[in-house]
Chains A and B, each alone.
Chain A
Amino acid sequence: MNALEIADVWKYYGDFPALREVKLSIAPGSTLALLGRNGAGKTTLLRIVAGLSRPSRGSIKIEGSIGILGHGIALYDELTAFENLTLFGRLYDLPDPRKRAEEMLERVGLSRVRDGLAREFSRGMRQRLAVGRAFLHDPEVLLLDEPFTALDDRAIAVLQSMIQDMRDRGRTIIMSTHQLREALELASHVALLQRGQIVHMGERTQQMLDDTGWLYRTYGDN
């Protein structure tokens, strides 16, 4: 049983096909780097997988719960760090949301400021809190949309360590990114999306790591 099965998904915005006959099967425990240039359809695909948008055609099957870290931090500015995480813990029906929130605040290095309002946090602290929110319920499938963009060094370190931890525990991760080096180092599989179509899907190879431009040169249109 695959963790994620995307079957012939099309997505139209008006007459424009943002996704064209996308097919993907992702085995449990895989880390997929979803690559592609701006406007290739990465975010559209992730939004459909997350249930934030409906496909115009095709179907999606997901095994287990999903977590998402998108472009927005998805935190309430008027709530404290602890209240934000407790809220999402309750929404995910965790057995002890308060305890889990405290554990996660410790993990992302924000336990000392747990009662500070999110709006009073620095950008880096907000980013770490957002990472904590996405990983809070230990999702079986984690969707990361440009996860390293605009993160400070400490937030990148926290995120990389948590992704590594999830990989070690056999969770499935799909991340779209422009940062090829970081993505390829973490990925077990690579999919290249071009003008709404998957033009390559396969295991990550050493060649991709040695020459990060190879994939675009080989499968891309320039």
Chain B
Amino acid sequence: MFLRQVWTIAAKDLHSELRTKEAWNASIAFSVVILLLFSFAFDPSSEQIREFSGGLLWMTYAFAGALVLNRSFARELQNDCLDALIASPVSSAALFVGKALANFALLFAVEVVSLPVFVLFYNVPWGTGQILPMLLVMVLGTWALTVIGTLFSALTVNLRLRELMLPTLVYPMMIPALISAMTITTNVLAGDPMGFGLRFLVGFDIIFTLLSVVFVDTVLVG
């Protein structure tokens, strides 16, 4: 029952987004343009790329993610749909997990599209051995961004300045996960071991997923 509700919510959000492409178009355009602009602005050497690749990539993902996350619960305000969802038998936890999964899928797709742009324009040394570690850190890092972002999207949904409030509240919370994802990505692209950051990221994901599931009902119903 829980999983079916999660799937229904996630499928509804993805279906709505694919039909309007509001968040998708904005975040794809943003991430590709930022990566291109930085590549032309700095023309970095391979040594510099080695140092800032993880930082640049995850900063881009985090800002592109805000565009996706802002729409997540705001979509439910239209016609008071959120009220109908809360009044339905769907638990707040299922609603949250469904929305987080849809956000994850969207943000991950944005990352998959913008990663080749990054590799190409920054001449990042790329081998087949880096694909799996990179995918792993992208999955863990993206889940960290979406789980926190989805909870704060619910928290700020009724605020008039929610487009401003969401990033203001959510980025400080994301800092530990972002630093970890940046460090691992830099290591992966340099061909070094992933290090302690991976375990930290796994722990971060588990703790914040559990906390979000526990508190989302209070956030939504008040």
Contacts and interface: CB of A to CB of B under 8 A. Distances in A.
Interface of A: 47, 50-54, 65-66, 68, 70-79, 83, 87-88, 90-93, 133
A65 B78 CA distance: 24
Given A52-B221, A65-B89, A78-B16, A93 B84 contact: no
Interface in B43-95: 78-81, 83-90
A53 B81 CA distance: 15
A153 to B, nearest CB: 22
B148 to A, nearest CB: 25
A54 to B, nearest CB: 6
A124 B31 CA distance: 42
A79 B15 contact: yes
B127 interface: no
Contact of A75 (B1, B5, B81): B81
A51 B4 contact: no
Interface centre among B15, B83, B84, B90 (most CB of A within 10 A): B84
B20 A78 contact: yes
Contacts of B12: 76, 79, 87
Given A92-B89, A133-B84, A77 B79 contact: yes
Given A52-B87, A68-B83, A91 B5 contact: yes
Contacts of A73: 79-80
A19 B89 CA distance: 26
Contacts of B83: 47, 50, 52, 68, 70, 72, 74
A50 B16 contact: no
Contacts of B89: 65, 91-93
A91 B80 contact: no
Chain A interface mostly helix, strand, loop or mixed?
A: loop
18 contacts: A50-B87, A54-B221, A70-B80, A71-B80, A72-B79, A72-B81, A72-B83, A73-B80, A74-B80, A75-B79, A78-B19, A79-B15, A87-B8, A91-B8, A91-B90, A92-B89, A93-B1, A93-B89
B129 interface: no
A54 B221 CA distance: 7
B-side interface mostly: helix
Given A47-B83, A77-B79, A93-B89, 19 more contacts: A50-B86, A51-B87, A52-B87, A52-B221, A68-B83, A68-B84, A70-B80, A71-B80, A74-B79, A74-B80, A74-B84, A79-B16, A79-B19, A87-B8, A87-B12, A88-B88, A91-B85, A92-B88, A93-B4
B139 to A, nearest CB: 27
Given A70-B83, A91-B5, A93-B89, A54 B222 contact: yes
A54 B89 CA distance: 16
A7 B20 CA distance: 45
A68 B82 CA distance: 12
Given A74-B80, A74-B81, A52 B16 contact: no
A150 to B, nearest CB: 13
A66 B15 contact: no
Contacts of B86: 50-52
A75 B76 CA distance: 9
B221 A51 contact: yes
Contacts of A91: 5, 8, 85, 88-90
Contacts of A92: 88-89
B221 A53 contact: yes
A87 to B, nearest CB: 6
Contact of A88 (B15, B19, B78, B84): B84
Contact of B78 (A47, A52, A66, A76): A76
A143 to B, nearest CB: 8
B13 to A, nearest CB: 10
A52 B85 CA distance: 10
